[in-house]
């Protein structure tokens, strides 16, 4: 098929040419005297992306999923209790990982389409007078349902309950795309991945830890080796890593950070909100609904519910095979019920309008009754006036 594939899944995202070019480097000695000139500034500038002055950042040659494990195994002891809300596939997977690692998981089921219920969280923490809950695991942006939770509100719930539990945040599809404030929200561990807002291929777990969390990591007894923060700290201070890093990934990350800081985080957040709002207006004009309920809409991904007598997998397949457009599939409980449009990373209004046009064609071909051009038109009018 002529032309490139149009990638509109919520990760991996489109990589800017400048980032891909930066990664195209000869192999190099990661123990050389000049390697710290690459790594040290990356770790320092990542603090600007997480918006932390006191926290410490790390890059593991792994994935965001591995980042979950880094947080759990470095900051907890075997058998510790953690609390998590399940309102999508990725919260489900994080909880499942915690169980497999031997932690005591207190799981609360929430309707898919909603986020963390702050009143319930505060009440539950107040009930935990013995402070058995050692950490709250919060999914900031649930990619499977297009739901964003209020992490600042989670911190307020912890403070209102006067509970000492640590706060771990899955920010894989939020950090570097939508507002994230590590220090202001009192986050202890934040996990991100290279293939979302950082606009890189998958392969790097990018994390930040508070000084409180790092002090806890000095005393915990859970076994770890490759994911040891201590080993990273001991070598990162001199600009090195405890094992072989992906040097092309680090060069790409350096360029990605430069692009993010050049655009400015506030501008990035505004752009993502603008792109997302155009998609939501298109969905409304089509007469369809988003999986996310009011107050929980994500600015990085929209999950769109198809009519009950239709299968979202047909829409996705048609978009891919006929129009060379990649859309996100519904996962687990929403498989076949929703398709997802990712609108994060290296995107602008014109590129997203192309995706909406492709979606309209796929919807019509799948027998879903919409007016051709209606969603695109709604987005066009919004974007013209919003810019």
- How many CA atoms does the CB half-sphere of 151 hold within 13 Å? 30
Q: How far is CA 322 from CA 73, 312, 342, 363, in A?
A: 45, 15, 19, 12
Round to whole Å and give the CA distance between 84 and 90. 11
Q: Is residue 273 part of a domain?
A: yes
Residue 387's pLDDT is 86
Domain boundary among 216, 242, 262: 262
- Would you say 211 and 182 are in contact if contact means Cβ atoms under 8 Å apart? no
Residue-wise pLDDT for 73-121, tens only, equals 999 999 999 999 999 999 999 999 999 999 999 999 999 999 999 999 9
Does residue 318 form part of some domain? yes
Count of domains in the chain?
Answer: 2
pLDDT value at 36 more than 80 = yes
Please give the model's pTM, rounded to 2 decimal places. Answer: 0.97
Task: State mean pLDDT over 194-211.
Answer: 98
Tell me the average pLDDT of the chain: 97
pLDDT single digits (tens) 330-368: 999 999 999 999 999 999 999 999 999 999 999 999 999
| Domain match, 300 and 247 both | no
| Residues 321 and 364 placed together within one structural domain of the fold | yes
Domain of residue 43 covers 18-262
Banded pLDDT at 3 (limits 50, 70, 90): confident
Asked if 237 and 286 sit in the same domain, the reply is: no
Q: Domain boundary residue among 241, 262, 283? A: 262
The answer to whether residues 54 and 200 belong to one domain is: yes
Residue 230: half-sphere exposure toward Cβ, Cα within 13 Å: 14
Q: How confident is the model at residue 2 (pLDDT cuts 50, 70, 90)?
A: confident
Tell me the CATH number at 340.
3.90.1150.10
pLDDT value, residue 367: 98
Tell me if 1 is assigned to some domain.
no
Joined tokens for residue 294: 């009011």
C-alpha to C-alpha distance for 295 and 171, rounded to whole angstroms = 18
User: Cα 281 from chain centroid?
Assistant: 23
């Amino acid at each position: 098929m002529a032309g490139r594939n149009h990638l509109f899944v919520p990760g991996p995202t489109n990589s800017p040419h400048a980032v891909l070019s930066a990664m195209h480097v000869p192999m190099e000695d990661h123990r050389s005297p000049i390697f710290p000139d690459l790594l040290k500034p990356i770790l320092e500038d990542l603090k600007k992306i997480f918006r932390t002055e006191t926290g410490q950042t790390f890059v593991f040659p792994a994935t965001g999923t591995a980042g979950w494990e880094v947080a759990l195994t470095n900051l907890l002891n075997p058998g510790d209790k953690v609390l998590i809300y399940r309102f999508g596939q990725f919260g489900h997977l994080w909880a499942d990982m915690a169980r497999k690692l031997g932690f005591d998981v207190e799981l609360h089921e929430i309707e898919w389409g909603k986020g963390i219920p702050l009143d319930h969280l505060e009440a539950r923490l107040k009930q935990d007078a013995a402070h058995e809950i050692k950490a709250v695991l919060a999914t900031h942006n649930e990619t499977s349902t297009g739901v964003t939770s209020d992490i600042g509100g989670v911190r307020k719930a912890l403070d209102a309950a006067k509970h000492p539990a640590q706060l771990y945040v899955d920010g894989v599809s939020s950090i570097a795309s939508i507002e994230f404030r590590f220090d202001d929200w009192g986050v202890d561990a934040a996990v991100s991945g290279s293939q979302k807002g950082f606009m890189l291929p998958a392969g790097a777990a990018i994390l930040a830890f508070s000084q409180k969390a790092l002090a806890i990591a000095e005393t915990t007894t859970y076994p770890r080796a490759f994911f040891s923060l201590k080993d990273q700290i001991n070598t990162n201070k001199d600009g090195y890593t405890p094992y072989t890093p992906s040097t092309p990934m680090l060069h790409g990350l350096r360029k990605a950070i430069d692009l993010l800081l050049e655009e400015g985080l506030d501008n990035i957040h505004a752009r993502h909100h603008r792109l997302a709002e155009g998609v939501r207006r298109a969905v409304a004009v089509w007469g369809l609904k988003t999986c996310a309920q009011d107050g929980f809409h994500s600015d990085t991904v929209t999950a769109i519910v198809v009519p009950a007598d239709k299968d979202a997998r047909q829409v996705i397949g048609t978009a891919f095979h006929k129009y060379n457009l990649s859309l996100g599939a519904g996962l687990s409980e929403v498989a076949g019920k929703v398709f997802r449009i990712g609108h994060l990373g290296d995107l602008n209004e014109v590129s997203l309008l192309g995706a909406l046009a492709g979606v309209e064609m796929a919807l019509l071909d799948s027998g879903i009754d919409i007016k051709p051009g209606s969603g695109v038109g709604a987005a066009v009018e919004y974007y013209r006036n919003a810019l």
